[in-house]
Amino acid sequence: MPSDTARRPYVAGNWKLWGTRAQAAAYCERLLTLLPEPARRDADVAVCVPFTALETVAGALAGSGVAVAAQNMHQADNGAFTGEVSAPMLLELDVDAVVLGHSERRQLFGETDRALSEKVPAALAAGLQPILCVGETESERDAGDMQRKLRHQVQEGLEDVADDRLADVVIAYEPIWAIGTGKVATPDQAQEAISFVRALVGDRSTAAADAVRVLYGGSVKPDNAAEILAQPDVDGALVGGASLDPESFAAIVGAA
């Protein structure tokens, strides 16, 4: 698959379960001192924060060009879904994007590909940018099942997205064995899996495959980011642990 140099790099920091409103405000203030001015930034930047910090972060980052993302969303606008949050609720807080199908949601909280096939188009329809996470476990990789797993997750997650909206989805390839383990994928492994993900989008639309941004996630740190991000199909990074420190997050943005 030829790589399209017009794809703008995208670096998102996933705070996971971190960030009271006080911590979030201090973080944003520090981050903005470390990032270049929006016009001089060579990458799109986003922070993915807990629901309770969204309003604080959206206020602190207003006008900064840094996008604000939630970490999950229900596919329905409202209904009998205790504990859930919907797209209109996020939009009201000036949220720009939403992480969907993170492996922790899948493994610990029963998130299914079926639900994601509704969540991704629901986010797009509402005007939120979905960041759809996919990735294999170590035993799936060892058993030679990586492609089968990715095919299933990508096809089902994007099933009800119209071809002309596919490129509005950001896909994050996050091998589960690399998340929070310090065991980062090699640049070759990241490139191989991400070009495969891109080819899966290409099965639906070649134009979308050229334009869609596919990120790598899993133990990205300032000292390994540049090598991974230099791969032709790797369009950015979804950063967990290292994003909790504004200095290292800004360094990773710099590497992109």
Based on the shown chain and the rule CB under 6 A, indicate whether residue 45 belongs to the binding site for ligand PGA: no
Q: Is residue 14 involved in binding ligand PGA (CB under 6 A)?
A: yes
Residue 180 near ligand PGA by CB under 6 A:
yes
50 touches ligand PGA (CB under 6 A): no
Total residues contacting ligand PGA by CB under 6 A comes to 13
> Does position 47 bind ligand PGA by CB under 6 A?
no
Using the rule CB under 6 A, give the single segment among 3-11, 121-129, 149-157, 239-247 that binds ligand PGA. Answer: 239-247
In sequence order, which residues have a C-beta less than 8 Å from that of residue 122 and are 6 or more positions away? 73, 75, 76, 87
Centre a 10 Å sphere on the Cβ of residue 45 and count the other Cβ atoms it contains.
25
Stretch that binds ligand PGA, among 87-95, 113-121, 218-226, 247-255 (CB under 6 A): 218-226
Give yes or no for a contact between 215 and 236, defined as CB atoms under 8 angstroms apart: yes
Smallest gap, in angstroms, from Cβ of residue 205 to ligand PGA?
A: 27
Residue 187 CB neighbours (<10 A): 17
Q: Which of 47, 49, 179, 209 binds ligand PGA (CB under 6 A)?
A: 179
| Residues from 138 through 177 that contact ligand PGA (CB under 6 A) | 174
Active site residue 102: yes
- Asked if 124 and 161 touch (Cβ cutoff 8 Å), the reply is yes
Both tokens assigned to 139: 């035993």
Active site residue 29: no
| Cβ atoms within 10 Å of 14's Cβ, excluding its own | 26
Stretch that binds ligand PGA, among 17-25, 121-129, 186-194, 214-222 (CB under 6 A): 214-222
Residues belonging to the active site: 102, 174
Interface positions with ligand PGA (CB under 6 A): 14, 174, 179-180, 217-220, 238-242
